[in-house]
Amino acid sequence: MRARLAIDKEYEIGAIDKRIYGSFIEHLGRAVYGGIYEPGHPRADANGFRGDVLELVRELDVPVVRYPGGNFVSSFNWEDSVGPVDKRPRRLDLAWKSVEPNSFGLAEFARWAKEAGTEIMYAINLGTRGIDAARNIVEYCNHPGGSYWSDLRRQHGSKAGFGIKLWCLGNEMDGPWQVGQKTPDEYGRIAYETAKALKLFDPKLELVACGSSNGHMPTFPQWEATVLEHCYDSVDYLSLHHYFRNDDDELPAFLASSLGMDSFIDSVVATCDFVQSKKRSKKKMQLSFDEWNVWFHSAEADSKNEPWQVGPPLLEDVYTMEDALVVGCLINVLLRHADRVKVACLAQLVNVIAPIMTDNGGAAWRQTIYWPFLYASKYGRGTSMSVKVDSPTYESKAFGPVPYLDASAVLSEDGRHLCLFCVNRSREAVELDLRAAGFEGLALAEHVELRNDDLKAANTAAAPNRVSPKVLATGKAGAALAPLSFNVLRYSIGK
């Protein structure tokens, strides 16, 4: 089958904010305990940070990591996570029915983030707590000294502070599962008042208000509209969360799920712009898609979880080749919305619905979904270009016609490379016919392909490289995309 992809140097979607390659570490399952932190592990450093995990996180080059939750944050007292470790309380975490020993806390995460070369995106508890706890933690983290909370931090050993710029005002506050769930008016008010207090402290802080927990919530998108009526002018981003599933094991429908992400973003953009018009505001609300991924494999195992353990194995999805294809398509959606989506977090980073898996005391390895994320993070920085795809389609019940070819295009920051990320959703090869107006002397410099004949193939501790990318021979400007494959086509641009 043939598909045509047309781009034009004149038609840009917008500058890509590198923070769309963000991720997420929650105090959930083995993300922290047994994931990034495992004192006594042969690869742990003096801080207890696993060096093998740090190497993989650095390879992914994740610019921002959301922390410490998630649902966890809505009944979490941040004060428990600071000061001498032996004085910190053990608490019951109601969100995941686990025990939180607080032996890894704020200062430890800040140190880890520095070693990983990433920035912190900190989520504040607006479930059981409120404005007071919010203003205190911001002062603790960011004020240089000479006040109660900043001096306490200095006493705890951090003179410089953590300089955290990006703050989430709660998590999924519309969700009935959330401790301290709110109505949109209750949440909109508290988000507004919290934003006001934080911006009085520092107007340069960037604040994220909670959108709906996902696009299927019955109150979506009225939740967004009401919340923004309250806090439009005080916050910088509205959050989106969505996870994708394949419960019925129907590959074509699963591969089409990125069209759902597309229309979810379009609806949120439309709602934000409606509120903007209503308020006669000059400001365009930007989006933070701060939880996205495939999540369904672990549901059955999790239903048998023994409660009240430290670091239990929870949400340990083992990802397959087909999940990697879906993740490739989801990244394409984020890139095609680069004009509005400025932050995004692959949820999560280690062990919990994650690209990186570990065994306690053992190895760390890359899951299948690691690969599309790695290549996008590596080559997907610069300007997102408008792509016109002319491809044969198939019908899906949920979305109607679905193009077999899914693509995004990125012009590199130095203007010397054009990178296409292409997913072939078909069981047939696709012959790609590229028309790139305004780009002289394009030559295919690199073609990386991720595919496996067994679509259920996964990487494990015993076979960590079963699904891994292959570098193909390059030649003409067009390329052949193998059946059911993810492809990185990197072109050098002549003068």
Residue nearest to ligand AHR (CB): 70
CB of 267 to ligand AHR, least distance (A): 19
Quickly count: other Cβ atoms within 10 Å of residue 262's Cβ: 18
Is 395 among the residues known to form the active site?
no
Which residue of 71, 125, 298, 384 would you call a contact of ligand AHR, by CB under 6 A? 71
Token duo for residue 301: 């195992």
Single out the residue of 379, 333, 377 nearest to residue 355, CA to CA.
377
Distance CA 421, CA 414 (A): 18
Single out the residue of 396, 344, 350 nearest to residue 369, CA to CA.
350
CB of 210 to ligand AHR, least distance (A): 10
Q: In the complex with ligand AHR, which residue's Cβ is closer, 150 or 348?
A: 348
CB of 220 to ligand AHR, least distance (A): 14
**Is position 239 an interface residue for ligand AHR (rule: CB under 6 A)?**
no
Quickly count: other Cβ atoms within 10 Å of residue 189's Cβ: 15
Which residue of 5, 56, 345, 347 would you call a contact of ligand AHR, by CB under 6 A? 347
Catalytic residue among 139, 224, 291, 322: 291
**Is position 171 an interface residue for ligand AHR (rule: CB under 6 A)?**
yes
Burial class (CB in 10 A: 0-12, 13-18, 19+), 397: exposed
**Which residues, listed in sequence order, are joined to residue 24 by a DSSP beta bridge?**
66
**Is position 70 an interface residue for ligand AHR (rule: CB under 6 A)?**
yes
Options 55-63, 69-77, 355-363, 404-412: segment touching ligand AHR (CB under 6 A) = 69-77
User: How far apart, in Å, do the first and last CA atoms of the chain sit?
Assistant: 32
Catalytic residue among 172, 224, 322, 449: 172
Please give the backbone phi and psi of residue 55, each rounded to the nearest 5 degrees, phi first.
-60, -45
Q: In the complex with ligand AHR, which residue's Cβ is closer, 172 or 406?
A: 172
Burial class (CB in 10 A: 0-12, 13-18, 19+), 165: middle
Looking only at residues 272 through 311 of this chain, which bind ligand AHR when binding is defined by CB under 6 A?
Answer: 291
Q: How many helices (H) and strands (E) does the chain have?
A: 11, 25
CB–CB of 209/171 below 8 Å? no
CB of 315 to ligand AHR, least distance (A): 6
Looking only at residues 185 through 224 of this chain, which bind ligand AHR when binding is defined by CB under 6 A?
Answer: none
What does the DSSP 8-state code read for residue 122?
E
Which residue of 108, 172, 322, 449 would you call a contact of ligand AHR, by CB under 6 A? 172
Options 64-72, 301-309, 362-370, 457-465: segment touching ligand AHR (CB under 6 A) = 64-72
Q: In the complex with ligand AHR, which residue's Cβ is closer, 348 or 426?
A: 348
Which residue of 22, 35, 69, 211 would you call a contact of ligand AHR, by CB under 6 A? 69
Helix, strand, coil share of the chain (percent; to 5): 30, 25, 45
Options 67-75, 149-157, 261-269, 281-289: segment touching ligand AHR (CB under 6 A) = 67-75
Is 26 among the residues known to form the active site?
no
**Which residues, listed in sequence order, are joined to residue 488 by a DSSP beta bridge?**
421, 448
Token duo for residue 295: 């999540």
The CA-atom distances, in angstroms, between 81 and each of 29, 96, 131, 134 are 17, 18, 19, 14
**Is position 403 an interface residue for ligand AHR (rule: CB under 6 A)?**
no
The CA-atom distances, in angstroms, between 479 and each of 3, 409, 451, 473, 488 are 10, 15, 15, 10, 11
**Is position 424 an interface residue for ligand AHR (rule: CB under 6 A)?**
no
Q: In the complex with ligand AHR, which residue's Cβ is closer, 70 or 312?
A: 70
**Is position 26 an interface residue for ligand AHR (rule: CB under 6 A)?**
yes
Options 2-10, 68-76, 217-225, 363-371: segment touching ligand AHR (CB under 6 A) = 68-76
Single out the residue of 134, 266, 249 nearest to residue 201, CA to CA.
134
Options 5-13, 66-74, 78-86, 406-414: segment touching ligand AHR (CB under 6 A) = 66-74
Distance CA 92, CA 76 (A): 9
**Coil, strand, or helix at residue 169?**
strand
**Is position 348 an interface residue for ligand AHR (rule: CB under 6 A)?**
yes
CB of 69 to ligand AHR, least distance (A): 5
Q: In the complex with ligand AHR, which residue's Cβ is closer, 118 or 348?
A: 348
How far does Cα 46 stand from its chain's mean position?
29
Which residues form the interface with ligand AHR (CB under 6 A)? 26, 69-71, 171-172, 291, 347-348
Active site residues: 172, 291
